[in-house]
Structure 1
Amino acid sequence: MSAPEESRQARPQALDGWTPWPAEMADLYRRAGYWRGETLGRLLRERAARHPDRIALVSGDRRLSYGELDRRADRLAAGLLHLGLRPGDRVVVQLPNIAEFFEVCFALFRLGALPVLALPAHRRAEIAYFCEHTEAVAYVIADRDGGFDYRALASQIRRDVGTLRHVLVAGEPGEHTALSSLDREPVELPEPAAGDVAFFQLSGGSTGVPKLIPRTHDDYLYSVRASAEICGLDEGSVYLAVLPVAHNFTLSSPGSLGVLHAGGRVVLCRRPSPDEALPWIERERVTMTALVPPLASVWLEAARAARHDLSSLKVLQVGGARLPAEVARRVGPALGCKVQQVFGMAEGLVNYTRLDDPDAIALETQGRPISPHDEVRVVDDDDRDVEPGQVGHLLTRGPYTIRGYYRADAHNEKAFTRDGFYRTGDLVRRTREGYLVVEGRAKDQINRGGEKIAAEEVENHVLAHPAVRDAALVAMPDAHLGERSCAFLVARGQPPPAREINAFLRERGVAQFKVPDRIEWLDALPTTSVGKVDKKALRRWIADRLAQGARA
């Protein structure tokens, strides 16, 4: 139920550990019309009032209209309130691409509780941290997905995290609470302030586990609206979500929320393989979908032999890592649609190639920013601006780029400049037209097909093995994924088999994509002149070995 109109402009909540925009910049963004005092819960409410019977979500055999999704969010919000959840409570949401993801998120938006959007691939190490760091009171899961039983994981987490009172399960609940049991008659709820934090996303992370990214209703909805406009979405748009819906790319670039904003239809696909996804394109007359580069290559190969009618597809977005120009050129001939490159981050800044850009830009750059007020700097190691065309570190601030991670003061001192620019960790060059070309990562991070791996986090887990004395994780080139991970280890005696190390990491709850793809044992790790591990030398060594045809 909606609250009085004046609640839209209510004073933002005082959330411990959140860094708001400076008052003068917030005023600027409001005057410019970027921040309109709207909330995510109201987004659905208004679309449902406008076209209640139009299909909003397709999830397996379920087809939910805007009106049905709106009513489900109201009834679930009432059930969560009855369960004891209150505005400001944090709730870790770990759901695959199913309708319940949107039902839960919109219910929490209505209630003013804050979703923490975990990914299906996360395991005990990450989920325990998210719950502890946010003092989460509830954890929402599917019963099983991809052969993994999330209920068993939830039981472990609940024993270990004192604040966690509820585990809510989409499907068979086991010892937990069925999400379907929370259906209640709607109650009147005060609408959160648009300047409030609405939810938390996760950083790719260059050190340790992912950092938490606080997004407000105002800033996120601006990104959604502007993205939908840039991408030409309208009521006839049909978006196929094949990447995890909690990813910023799939959620808002323009993603599912952009399509719902435009009044279109979101089709949820559980697996990104072309065998599962291509039939959905034919069946639902999909007009847009989004992939990471490795998947795009797989789809292009599959499309050559596919017998499905893909003629409805107008745009294939590719993001998460740089798309090689030679692959981009194959999209049109193979799929009969335009390719749109997207380069963005959950911390804020999103760049798009425009749909009317010439091929020289659309195929060879990663786009330009959404907003006229996106401030972008490309600097050298001493934070001095470089000339257009030169490679440098990307810094940015703007109306939808955060000013700090949640409860991370020490990290924020390094990740943000004193005047509020976010250090993205990307190496880019900027063309004279203002488009960005991504040249790599300055941070110690591995981009495994769009999944970001923080080397330090994995190293810390490996070092817990009694046979390992020293460890360094680096990226190694891979034709399919762009990068895979190679762990260089120093043993305390006889090195154990690689399978023992990998089993050890899985037992510690490390996500599968973070388990090293290759392990090399050394007598000692190379060091620089100041005694630091020389990871450049390790990356060069493994790249040379692979180039010489050594078996990975």
Structure 2
Amino acid sequence: MTSHTSEGTTPWPADLAAEFRAKGYWEDRALGSYILDTADRLPDKIAIVDGELRLTYADIANRMDAGAERLLQLGLRADDRVMVQLPNGWQFALLTLACFRAGIIPVMALPAHRQYELSFLSELSEARAIAVPDTIKDFDHQAMAEDLVSTIPSLEIILVSGAANPMNVGLEELLAPGKDPKGARARLDGLAPSPDSPALFLLSGGTTGLPKLITRTHNDYAYNIKASSVPTGVTEDTVYLGTLPASHNFPLACPGILGILFAGGRMVMLPSPEPRKAFAAIEREKVTLSTAVPAVAQRWIEYQEETGGTQLASLEVIQVGGSRLPDEIARKVKPVLGATLQQVFGMAEGLINTTRLDDPEDVICTTQGRPVSEADEIRIVDESGNDLPDGVAGSILTRGPYTPRGYYRAPEANARAFTPDGWYASGDIVERRPDGNLIVQGRDKDMINRGGEKISAEEIESLVYRIEDITMAAAVAMPDPVLGEKLCLYITVKPGTEVTLEQIQKMLRETGVAAFKIPEHLVVVDELPATKVGKINKKELRADIAERLATASAHSK
């Protein structure tokens, strides 16, 4: 029987799939089997560290399989969706692995998401379960999940990290060790999902409204993980600190949590990259590899410059991605943090580029790397789709064995983002150097990149029109020295009325919008500038807010 997931996906052409298999990119194995391989090889080695909890590979294999069987006992089935909104921790990792093992598809939501985003994603994915923390920073995620279950027909089961209410299921119990690991393994081996079936849904940082779902299969994601691990030098001796939200592709699989577990390394999980705690964890666990977005890297550099000390002595490599790292900050990483910088430019839709650890310092500090796979294809094109020579910036197109051919149940988005012959247009403007390394110049779409979290201008604009006195709205990026960009809102209002930033922020919070999407600056104008074809001139607005900020900074000195 055709599953409803496959009805919403775009498969690779049969001839390409055969080629990917023949060349060994696709190994025709489910993701869970790689974890079992490591557990068989290194059963007593520590796999995951979360605070005081230390789990060996034998532990995680047992808990993965026991959790998979308990998910099936709850009534979930292969191809069912589980919305995963958990902070970094062992429960995130083990629930994800249990889903892979049972053929259940985790939908990687963010802890920052609220009812507005989760309602949309639950309905689009037809999720049957949702996994949430009980509370984070006084926000009651469990109560929100209960509201969602009462309004979304497909949602039935709530999984809770922490204190679960009586009708809900505690993840501590769901992921407890099983009493019959050999039997569970044999039973689940017999139910192994097809390697071409969806393994998980990642979220796009889409520019047109709410996120789209990116279908990643067992075959393509395993290759993503393994190909990303090579230039990062991951081995069983790697000790990895994960502080970025683990549901993002970068800290999950580039090489991330899954790359470490595939290789037999040790995964140290922290819910926040706050320097004091992160540095203490690096020293305590002898961490060798970590990831950061530019704002985090900058905070770590500032903290190390302020405090000095040798807490980072074990740190060998720090990967920085999510948004463009300014060259001047890149040049400080090695001298201040003592680790080799690896720049990462990639997308949840596939293509991953990295600088190499032995690249010249100039390449490491001024480029965002080159593809991790020989099979990654890249074109740089102009507005008409014509290929551009090296050294000329244009839009990047890509395809390859781990770049999907379409979003899930999104034909209009697919028509915009994918060409008929499978090239994906991410909306990034890049320049390719003659040595193959890419320099990211920005975006060709209407997107604010706030410290690696992508905000759709269109989504915020459509929401602020709920305030009746607003007649026109334009959300644009404004420069920020720490986060790279923040969200600035320009509005026009009805004559004789007044709208404040606080009013807009309050409305958006009440709507249930993620906090990182809420505008941080408001400019009220008589009229918004327009292009010759009558569209709001965002370029002019971005220049205007940059000038306003520069003027304000000059006056404050």
Query: Structure 2 length normalisation: TM-score?
Result: 0.95
Deviation string 1:221-244 (CA, Å, 9 cap, x unpaired) is 111111112111111100000101
Equivalent residue in structure 2 for 1:133, among 109, 119, 124: 124
Contact 2:234–2:263 (CA under 8 A) maintained in structure 1: yes
CA distance in 2, matches of 1:146, 1:17: 36
Residue 12 of structure 1: how far off its partner (Å): 9.8
After TM superposition, the structure 1 stretch with the greater mean CA deviation from structure 2, 176-185 or 437-446, is 176-185
Residue 174 of structure 1: how far off its partner (Å): 2.3
CA distance in 1, matches of 2:179, 2:405: 39
| AA partner of residue 177 (structure 1) | V
Determine the structure 1 residue equivalent to 2:220.
219
Residue 443 of structure 1: how far off its partner (Å): 0.8
Equivalent residue in structure 1 for 2:169, among 159, 168, 177: 177
Determine the structure 2 residue equivalent to 1:375.
377
Q: Name the SS of the counterpart of 1:549 in structure 2.
A: helix
Q: Name the SS of the counterpart of 1:30 in structure 2.
A: helix
| AA partner of residue 262 (structure 1) | A
After TM superposition, the structure 1 stretch with the greater mean CA deviation from structure 2, 469-478 or 421-430, is 469-478
| AA partner of residue 256 (structure 1) | I
| Unaligned 5+ runs, structure 2 | none
CA distance in 1, matches of 2:361, 2:335: 14
Determine the structure 2 residue equivalent to 1:354.
356
CA distance in 1, matches of 2:144, 2:267: 29
| AA partner of residue 533 (structure 1) | I
CA distance in 1, matches of 2:261, 2:152: 35
Equivalent residue in structure 2 for 1:534, among 530, 533, 537: 537
Determine the structure 2 residue equivalent to 1:281.
282
Contact 1:485–1:516 (CA under 8 A) maintained in structure 2: yes
| AA partner of residue 500 (structure 1) | Q
| AA partner of residue 420 (structure 1) | G
Residue 326 of structure 1: how far off its partner (Å): 1.4
Please report the RMSD computed on the Cα atoms of aligned residues, expressed in angstroms: 1.7
CA distance in 2, matches of 1:310, 1:215: 35
| AA partner of residue 170 (structure 2) | A
After TM superposition, the structure 1 stretch with the greater mean CA deviation from structure 2, 485-494 or 83-92, is 485-494
Determine the structure 1 residue equivalent to 2:101.
110
Determine the structure 2 residue equivalent to 1:486.
488
Q: Name the SS of the counterpart of 1:383 in structure 2.
A: coil
Determine the structure 2 residue equivalent to 1:144.
135
Determine the structure 2 residue equivalent to 1:521.
524
Contact 1:13–1:193 (CA under 8 A) maintained in structure 2: no
| AA partner of residue 542 (structure 2) | R
Equivalent residue in structure 1 for 2:474, among 465, 472, 475: 472
Determine the structure 1 residue equivalent to 2:60.
69
| AA partner of residue 148 (structure 1) | F
Q: How does 1:451-470 map to 2 (within 5 A)?
A: 451-470=453-472
Contact 2:5–2:198 (CA under 8 A) maintained in structure 1: no
CA distance in 1, matches of 2:551, 2:455: 26
Determine the structure 2 residue equivalent to 1:209.
210
| AA partner of residue 251 (structure 1) | L
Residue 370 of structure 1: how far off its partner (Å): 1.0
CA distance in 2, matches of 1:13, 1:499: 43
Contact 1:12–1:194 (CA under 8 A) maintained in structure 2: no
Determine the structure 1 residue equivalent to 2:200.
199
Deviation string 1:289-317 (CA, Å, 9 cap, x unpaired) is 01011111110011121435211100011
Q: Name the SS of the counterpart of 2:343 in structure 1.
A: strand
Query: Structure 1 length normalisation: TM-score?
Result: 0.96
CA 162–185 in structure 1, closer or farther in 2 if over 3 Å, else same:
farther
Deviation string 1:18-75 (CA, Å, 9 cap, x unpaired) is 0111111111111111001121110111111111111110011110111111111111
| AA partner of residue 17 (structure 1) | G
Contact 2:449–2:485 (CA under 8 A) maintained in structure 1: yes
Contact 2:3–2:79 (CA under 8 A) maintained in structure 1: no
Number of residues of Structure 1 aligned to a counterpart in Structure 2: 543
CA distance in 2, matches of 1:268, 1:521: 43
CA distance in 2, matches of 1:114, 1:530: 44
Determine the structure 2 residue equivalent to 1:52.
43
Equivalent residue in structure 2 for 1:101, among 85, 92, 104: 92
Q: Name the SS of the counterpart of 2:32 in structure 1.
A: helix
Residue 160 of structure 1: how far off its partner (Å): 1.5
Q: Name the SS of the counterpart of 2:366 in structure 1.
A: coil
Determine the structure 1 residue equivalent to 2:264.
263
Contact 2:239–2:286 (CA under 8 A) maintained in structure 1: yes
| Unaligned 5+ runs, structure 1 | 1-10
| AA partner of residue 494 (structure 1) | T
Q: Name the SS of the counterpart of 2:552 in structure 1.
A: coil
Determine the structure 1 residue equivalent to 2:426.
424
CA distance in 1, matches of 2:173, 2:297: 40
